């Protein structure tokens, strides 16, 4: 089988430095390190269909190539930007004659529903093993039927140590760069502007090294922050939706809304919009916040956030900035409560700690004669037959009787909820 990695020396540095062997692959040790799930698949000589989700430049395409190379499997590649349904069907027909074909689709989130539907049968029947790469959350961008047939693995932005090792090896091993004497005096700007993206890192490194005159005294190129910024023609602090500042700005954005500061929230919203952030990513964050930080203090917050996400999906930029602005202001100025968030986290923690307790017999379903004879459903009180559509009875498993997860927040809406709970349950909500 010919190599999948044939690269001319005239190719950009990022392409020349694409790892040819799995041991040379940088990062993602949670998947490829000792005990990592992908390493286990390779050891077993098999691979399920999977989706690789992560930011740009973290090695999604390279990983797909390496997996195919390791397993000695036929490999086909399509780009969702240029491929249509016809292209998908042609690849599938060819794969029927080449057992074990791995089909890699880059930016699969850009595939339409029809294009994704065209893949379903081939993936389900094992005609192809699909590897899809996406920078977007597959839960939102991949149709459920295809998503259910794939394992989803998250690739992480590369850390500083990994990026430094990539630079070191490029300078030492690349056929072109190793002929140029380079001193890495500073690397803060190089790493910051790369934003954890190896492709961007190597592209910038190549430009700086080849575009910087050697020091007259030493004859060596001095790689400094100033040299990097001159080449990049932009300051380090500029928002980069794929870099570290992305996470800092998003964090500040959410905390400003949680802290009820609409002005700061609008500032960080503007930073993200001007930096080219995906409006659907912003709208999804608002959806989460509406439940996590507002919840039943203002149930309309979730409705507005949902409408915001739908509108941004339909409209896109530039007009979505108005919809996002309205929603951000509404959420920032809304009453706040994390009671719903705290309640489900407490319930999940208890289940993880204790496991699942038996459901009380009165609450059990009794579809068979035997179950009825065993008393399933006996003594259950139908709530609508009680006064005010309420009948006092224990719904918790016996071992958890009286356990309370939900503590209504200190706000007018949840104060009314607390009053209703006290009227119904008396001592359970007498605090």
The Cα–Cα gap between 290 and 302 comes to 5
In the chain, the largest separation of any two C-alpha atoms, in whole Å, equals: 96
CA 372 and chain centroid, separation: 47
Q: Domain segments of the chain: what residues?
A: 27-154, 160-232, 244-332, 357-429
pLDDT of residue 390: 87
Supply 264's token pair. 């700061």
| Mean confidence (pLDDT) of the chain | 84
Q: Kindly give the confidence (pLDDT) of every residue in the chain, 431 residues in length, as a single tens digit, with 9 standing for 90 and above.
A: 444 555 555 788 888 888 888 888 888 888 888 888 888 888 888 888 999 988 888 888 888 888 888 888 888 888 877 777 888 888 888 888 888 888 898 888 888 888 888 888 888 888 888 898 988 888 777 888 888 888 888 888 888 888 899 999 988 988 888 888 988 988 888 887 777 788 888 888 888 888 888 888 888 988 888 888 888 775 544 555 555 567 788 889 999 999 999 999 999 999 888 877 888 889 999 999 999 999 999 999 999 999 999 999 888 777 889 999 999 999 999 999 999 999 999 999 988 888 888 888 887 877 777 777 777 778 788 888 888 888 888 888 888 888 888 888 888 988 888 888 888 888 777 76
Provide the b/e sequence for 113-132 (b: ≥16 CB within 10 Å): eebbebbeebbeeebbbbbb
DSSP string, 159-187: PHHHHHHHHHHHHHH-TTGGGS-EEE---
Q: Cβ(32)–Cβ(25) under 8 Å?
A: yes
The Cα–Cα gap between 277 and 246 comes to 9
Q: Cβ(138)–Cβ(130) under 8 Å?
A: no
Pick the CATH number of 244-332 from 1.20.272.10, 1.20.120.530, 1.10.10.10, 3.20.20.10: 1.20.272.10
Beta bridge partners of 51: 132, 152
The Cα–Cα gap between 295 and 414 comes to 10
pLDDT of residue 2: 44
Closest CA to 103 of 113, 112, 83: 83
Pick the CATH number of 160-232 from 1.10.3470, 1.10.760, 3.30.310, 1.10.8: 1.10.8
Q: Which CATH superfamily is domain 27-154 in?
A: P-loop containing nucleotide triphosphate hydrolases (3.40.50.300)
Closest CA to 257 of 301, 289, 302: 289
Q: Cβ(67)–Cβ(151) under 8 Å?
A: no
Beta bridge partners of 133: 52, 106
Provide the b/e sequence for 45-58 (b: ≥16 CB within 10 Å): eebebbbbbbbbbb
Cβ neighbours of residue 410 under 8 Å, at least 6 residues apart? Answer: 337
Q: Cβ(110)–Cβ(83) under 8 Å?
A: no
Region class of 386: left (phi > 0), else alpha (psi between -120 and 50), else beta: beta
pLDDT of residue 302: 96
Query: pLDDT digit string (tens) for 248-287?
Result: 888 899 999 999 999 999 999 998 888 778 888 899 999 9
What are the backbone angles phi and psi of residue 183, rounded to the nearest 5°?
-110, 120
Query: pLDDT digit string (tens) for 377-429?
Result: 787 888 888 888 888 888 888 888 888 888 888 889 888 888 888 888 887 77
Q: Cβ(96)–Cβ(120) under 8 Å?
A: no
DSSP at 360: P
What are the backbone angles phi and psi of residue 111, rounded to the nearest 5°?
-70, 140
Compute how many other C-beta atoms are within 10 angstroms of the C-beta atom of residue 281. 17
The Cα–Cα gap between 130 and 180 comes to 41
CATH of domain 357-429: 1.10.3710
The Cα–Cα gap between 113 and 301 comes to 30
Please report the sign of the dihedral spanned by the C-alpha atoms of residue 346, residue 347, residue 348, residue 349.
Answer: positive
pLDDT of residue 431: 63
């Amino acid at each position: 089988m010919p190599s999948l990695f044939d690269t001319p020396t005239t190719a950009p540095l990022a392409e020349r430095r694409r790892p040819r062997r799995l041991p040379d692959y940088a990062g993602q040790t949670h998947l490829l390190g000792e005990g990592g799930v992908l390493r286990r698949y390779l050891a077993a000589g098999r691979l399920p269909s999977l989706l690789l989700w992560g930011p740009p430049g973290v090695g999604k395409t390279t990983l797909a190539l390496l997996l195919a190379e390791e397993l000695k499997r036929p490999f086909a590649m399509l780009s969702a930007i240029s491929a249509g349904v016809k292209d998908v069907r042609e690849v599938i027909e060819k794969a029927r004659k080449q057992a074990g074909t791995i089909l890699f689709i880059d930016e699969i989130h850009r595939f339409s529903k029809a294009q994704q539907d065209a893949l379903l049968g081939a993936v389900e029947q094992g005609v192809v093993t699909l590897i899809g790469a996406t920078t977007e959350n597959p839960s939102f961008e991949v149709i459920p039927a295809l998503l259910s047939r794939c394992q989803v693995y998250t690739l992480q932005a590369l850390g500083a140590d990994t990026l430094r090792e990539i630079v070191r090896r490029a300078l030492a091993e690349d056929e072109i760069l190793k002929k140029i004497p380079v001193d890495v005096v500073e690397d803060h700007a190089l790493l910051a502007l790369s934003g954890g993206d190896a492709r961007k890192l190597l592209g910038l490194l190549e430009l700086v090294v080849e575009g910087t005159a050697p020091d007259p005294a030493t004859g060596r190129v001095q790689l400094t922050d100033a040299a990097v910024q001159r080449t990049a023609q932009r300051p380090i602090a500029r928002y980069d939706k794929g870099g570290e500042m992305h996470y800092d700005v998003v964090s500040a954005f959410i905390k400003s809304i949680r802290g009820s500061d609409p002005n700061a929230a609008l500032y960080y919203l503007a930073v993200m919009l001007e930096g080219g952030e995906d409006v659907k990513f912003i709208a999804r964050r608002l959806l989460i916040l509406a439940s996590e930080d507002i919840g039943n203090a203002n149930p309309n917050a979730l409705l507005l956030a949902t409408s915001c996400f739908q509108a941004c999906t339909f409209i896109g930029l530039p007009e979505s900035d108005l919809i996002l602005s309205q929603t951000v202001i509404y959420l920032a100025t809304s009453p706040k409560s994390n009671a719903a968030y705290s309640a489900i986290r407490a319930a999940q923690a208890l289940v993880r700690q204790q496991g699942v307790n038996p459901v009380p017999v009165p609450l059990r379903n009794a579809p068979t004669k035997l179950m009825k004879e065993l008393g399933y459903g006996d003594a259950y009180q139908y709530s609508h037959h009680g006064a005010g559509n309420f009948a006092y009875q224990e719904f918790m498993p016996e071992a958890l009787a009286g356990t309370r997860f939900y503590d209504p927040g200190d706000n007018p809406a949840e104060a009314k909820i607390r009053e209703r709970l006290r009227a119904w349950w008396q001592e359970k909500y007498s605090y």
